[in-house]
Amino acid sequence: MMSRVFIDGNNGVLGRVAARAAKSALEGNHVFIFNAEKLVVSGDKTYLLNRYLDRIHRGESVHGPFFPKTSKGIVKRTVRGMLPYKSGKGRQAFKRVKVYEGVPEQFSNEKLELPSKLKEDFKTKKYLRIKNISQRIGGK
CATH number of the domain where residue 119 is located: 3.90.1180.10
> Structure pTM?
0.89
What confidence category does residue 24 fall into, taking pLDDT thresholds of 50, 70 and 90? very high
Number of domains in the chain: 1
Quote helix, strand, coil % in the chain, to nearest 5.
45, 20, 40
CA dihedral 115, 117, 119, 122 (to 10 degrees): 140
For residue 102, give its domain range. Answer: 4-136
pLDDT digit string, tens, across residues 83-127: 999 999 999 999 999 999 999 888 888 888 776 766 766 666 788
Helix 14-26 with 71-81: angle, nearest 10 deg = 60
Contact 11, 119 (CB under 8 A): yes
Distance (Å) of CA 114 to CA 8, 63, 85, 108, 138: 6, 38, 25, 16, 29
Beta bridge partners of 60: 64
Give me the pLDDT at residue 120, please: 65
pLDDT digit string, tens, across residues 3-12: 999 999 888 8
